[in-house]
Amino acid sequence: MLIKDKTIAIVGGGPGGLTLARLLQMQGAQVKVYERDVNATARVQGSPLDLHEESGLAALRKADLLNEFKKNFRPGADRMLIANPQAEILYSDHTQKPEEDFGNNHFRPEIDRGPLRNMLLDSLQPGTVVWNSHFIAMEPQNEGWLLHFKNGASAKADLVVAADGANSKIRPYVTDVKAIYSGITMLEGNVYDASEVAPCIDAIINGGKIMAFGNKKNLLLGQKGNGDLGFYASLKVDEGWAAENGLDYGDKAQLVGWFKTAYADWSSIWLELFENAAMPMVPRPIYYMPLNQTWETMPDVTLLGDAAHVMPPFAGEGANMAMLDALELSECLTSNKYQTLYDAISHYEIAMQKRAAQAANESLENGDKMHAEDALGTMVDMFGRH
């Protein structure tokens, strides 16, 4: 095996990095995951994920974690409502969608990020994750790398895998290709104790998801396992909008006023979100990598997930692509088909770049449809066909 007696450093403890660590450890590899969080509970995990049969779930099957996933996923959380600005429901799959349909390509079970992360962490050998390891730089050393962290520690590795997200600090060691702004920015908010403070929205969403479309703007909502609501106001604006609009994202009155103006023709029912959102809200400009990006393969560094291909969120492919990257990279690194690590990594990267470009293109097309003048009708038709 190419990685026999090699030390592997995975930088980043998200779904992709942890899945890779699990898959490599199953093959006897020496793996460490360097994660900037102080510990597993240091940061509130984000919105729920829907895992896909051919990617995220395929990786969990190979990792022998599907049964554990079934204990932790949220039956019914994938159920969808599509609404107009007046909060009238034009599409619902709540009555016909089964709670569990594993093996069906169209079944996309939801899981909160925290339980998914904990499930992956529990599958690793003790001491695999080195917490409080905020990567800052690395330098060649012998035939590998010496990694340096913000806390002053250093670590040696024969192979480095960047799983450190869209703002990867390792990506520049591999390529200087930069991300491109998609034209869409999403303003993220969270409502805690939604059943108490946002009872109207809470009653409508009923544990699932809502997408509301109107006048080239969206509201996208999802309910978490603890009852909290995560939501995004999504709109087409210039790249500098988030920094230049004059909003104080910690000022609730300002944000309520902004919503009333920007979404002037939307029902006041949606105000429950902004009036009860935890502060600050967070603007998230959406980026993607050039669809034709390539780079010269290196024999001892590679990328996965958003570090390799920032994935717009409009097809639910971000974590799924990262976990599929982990699956395919692990198979290449542990295969007997390749003579060298360079050959194995090259095979992985060529296939990954092509696959990720197709997924990103689909997501960008969906984003355009979701922010078009006729988005409401288009999305109702699309979900109705499925």
261 plus 330 within the same structural domain: no
Classify strands 7-11 and 30-34 as parallel, antiparallel or unpaired: parallel
Residue 386: predicted pLDDT: 66
- Is 43 annotated in a binding site? The answer is yes
198 plus 305 within the same structural domain: no
231 plus 331 within the same structural domain: no
- Is 108 annotated in a binding site? The answer is no
Residue 41: predicted pLDDT: 82
In a domain, residue 93? The reply is no
Distance CA(23)–CA(53), nearest Å, equals 18
In a domain, residue 26? The reply is yes
Structural element, H or E, at residue 143: none
For the chain (386 residues), the mean pLDDT of every run of 10, in chain order, is: 94 97 98 94 77 97 97 93 97 87 88 95 98 98 95 98 97 97 97 96 94 96 93 97 97 98 96 98 97 97 98 93 98 96 98 97 96 96 83
Residue 56: predicted pLDDT: 97
Instruction: Look at residues 244, 264, 288 and tell me which one is the last residue of a structural domain.
Output: 288
Residue 97: predicted pLDDT: 81
In a domain, residue 341? The reply is yes
264 plus 151 within the same structural domain: no
Task: Say if CB 300 and CB 143 are below 8 A apart.
Answer: yes
Task: Say if CB 144 and CB 45 are below 8 A apart.
Answer: no
pTM for the full predicted model: 0.96
In a domain, residue 125? The reply is yes
218 plus 257 within the same structural domain: yes
Residue 154: predicted pLDDT: 98
119 plus 222 within the same structural domain: no
- Is 50 annotated in a binding site? The answer is yes
369 burial class (0-12, 13-18, 19+ CB within 10 angstroms)?
middle
Residue 1: predicted pLDDT: 82
Residue 44: predicted pLDDT: 63
Domain count, the chain: 2
Sign of the Cα torsion 371, 372, 374, 375 reads negative
Residue 331: predicted pLDDT: 98
> With b meaning 16 or more CB within 10 Å and e meaning fewer, what string describes 90-117?
bbbeeeeeeeeeeeeeebbbbbbbbbbb
In a domain, residue 245? The reply is yes
39 plus 173 within the same structural domain: yes
Question: Structural domain of residue 336, as residue ranges?
Answer: 7-74+109-178+289-370
For residue 236, what is the domain's CATH number? 3.30.9.30
Distance CA(374)–CA(378), nearest Å, equals 6
- Is 228 annotated in a binding site? The answer is no
In a domain, residue 92? The reply is no
Residue 169: predicted pLDDT: 98
